[in-house]
């Protein structure tokens, strides 16, 4: 059985004091949640959020990382730094990073391997553009992204891997994939995992949906057989909304 995982990706929102305020509001709202709850604030608020959530059921995530251990990489943050700060999950390959910051499949794979080697958990984002969906190549495209991201990762590590399927046309647009569309694509992603690792690997890996997921549509999405969680943008910025998604 895969435990549902709902993660809030705050993106470039919330100053440190606002981050503290949001987490303080969230703690009592999600304390009896059955799903695993993760918040991913901007780097600058990670330490403050870590302190607030240390005796709670909320896990800490980061929105990016660099794969090298240390050195002359101005502006970057390492896995060990995040680990010491209390981070457990790291989002990699988000479509916004692929689009604006030249994140490649190769980098995503390097990051995934380095994160797992450090004992942390990657949330690997994949997803098609509207053009790709209209051309009917969604399943091929997301399957390829999945295989490239997982290249060289052992089957035993898959229980620590989360994939977030986020159709780019559904991010921040208010357009959600229908629950059936999301389930069908996620099923194709799981098939890609099955092709490499077999049934056990495919059963182990958790796959989230992301893209305008909110308190209204969460329960229908989460009721789908292949959907193991959500990666939430806009609706994770208000404690009340996020807690409703968490409790779908």
The residues assigned a catalytic role are 94, 166
- Element at 7 (helix H, strand E): strand 5-9
Least distance from ligand 13P to the Cβ atom of residue 66, Å: 19
Least distance from ligand 13P to the Cβ atom of residue 70, Å: 28
Residue 123 β-bridge partners:
91, 162
According to the binding rule CB under 6 A, does residue 212 interact with ligand 13P? Answer: yes
According to the binding rule CB under 6 A, does residue 232 interact with ligand 13P? Answer: yes
**Closer residue to ligand 13P, CB minimum distance, 107 or 191:** 107
DSSP codes, 93-147 = S-HHHHHHS---HHHHHHHHHHHHHTT-EEEEEE---HHHHHHT-HHHHHHHHHH
Q: Candidates 24-32, 155-163, 199-207, 210-218 — which segment interacts with ligand 13P by CB under 6 A?
A: 210-218
Q: Candidates 75-83, 146-154, 196-204, 205-213 — which segment interacts with ligand 13P by CB under 6 A?
A: 205-213
Using CB under 6 A, pick the residue from 122, 201, 210, 215 that binds ligand 13P. Answer: 210
Residue 39 β-bridge partners:
8, 60
Least distance from ligand 13P to the Cβ atom of residue 125, Å: 7
Q: Per-residue string for binding with ligand 13P, 156-185, x by CB under 6 A?
A: ----------x----xx-------------
Cα-flanking dihedrals φ and ψ of residue 28, to 5°? -70, -30
Q: Cα dist. 189→115, 125, 247 in Å? A: 21, 12, 25
Q: Which of 48, 40, 39, 118 is nearest to 78 (CA)?
A: 118
- What burial class does residue 166 get, using C-beta atoms within 10 Å of its C-beta: 0-12 exposed, 13-18 middle, 19+ buried? buried
11: left (phi over 0), alpha (psi -120 to 50) or beta: left
**Closer residue to ligand 13P, CB minimum distance, 37 or 202:** 37
Judged by CB under 6 A, the number of residues near ligand 13P is 14
Using CB under 6 A, pick the residue from 93, 211, 215, 239 that binds ligand 13P. Answer: 211
Distance (Å, whole) CA 248 – CA 114: 33
- DSSP letter assigned to residue 87: -
**Closer residue to ligand 13P, CB minimum distance, 11 or 190:** 11
**Closer residue to ligand 13P, CB minimum distance, 41 or 201:** 41
Least distance from ligand 13P to the Cβ atom of residue 27, Å: 21
Least distance from ligand 13P to the Cβ atom of residue 11, Å: 7
Which residues here bind ligand 13P, judged by CB under 6 A?
A: 9, 94, 166, 171-172, 210-213, 231-235
């Amino acid at each position: 059985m895969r435990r549902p995982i709902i993660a809030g990706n705050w993106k470039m929102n919330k100053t440190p004091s606002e981050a503290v305020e949001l987490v303080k509001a969230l703690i009592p709202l999600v304390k009896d949640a059955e799903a695993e709850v993760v918040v991913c604030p901007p780097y600058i608020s990670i330490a403050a959020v870590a302190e607030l959530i240390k005796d709670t059921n909320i896990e800490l995530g980061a929105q990016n990382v660099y794969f090298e251990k240390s050195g002359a990489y101005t502006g970057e943050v390492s896995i060990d730094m995040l680990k010491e700060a209390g981070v457990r999950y790291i989002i990699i390959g988000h479509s916004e990073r692929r689009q604006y910051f030249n994140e490649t499949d190769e980098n995503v794979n390097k990051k995934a391997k380095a994160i797992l080697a450090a004992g942390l958990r990657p949330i690997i984002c994949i997803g098609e553009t509207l053009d790709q969906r209209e051309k009917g190549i969604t399943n091929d495209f997301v399957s390829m992204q999945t295989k490239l991201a997982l290249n060289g990762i052992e089957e035993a590590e898959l229980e620590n891997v989360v994939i977030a399927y986020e159709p780019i046309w559904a991010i921040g647009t208010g357009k959600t994939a229908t629950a059936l569309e999301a389930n069908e694509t996620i099923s194709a992603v799981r098939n890609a995992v099955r092709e490499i690792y077999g049934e056990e690997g495919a059963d182990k890996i958790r796959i989230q949906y992301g893209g305008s997921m909110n308190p209204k549509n969460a329960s229908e999405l989460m009721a789908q057989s292949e959907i193991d969680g959500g990666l939430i943008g806009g609706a994770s910025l208000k404690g009340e909304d996020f807690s409703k998604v968490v409790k779908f």
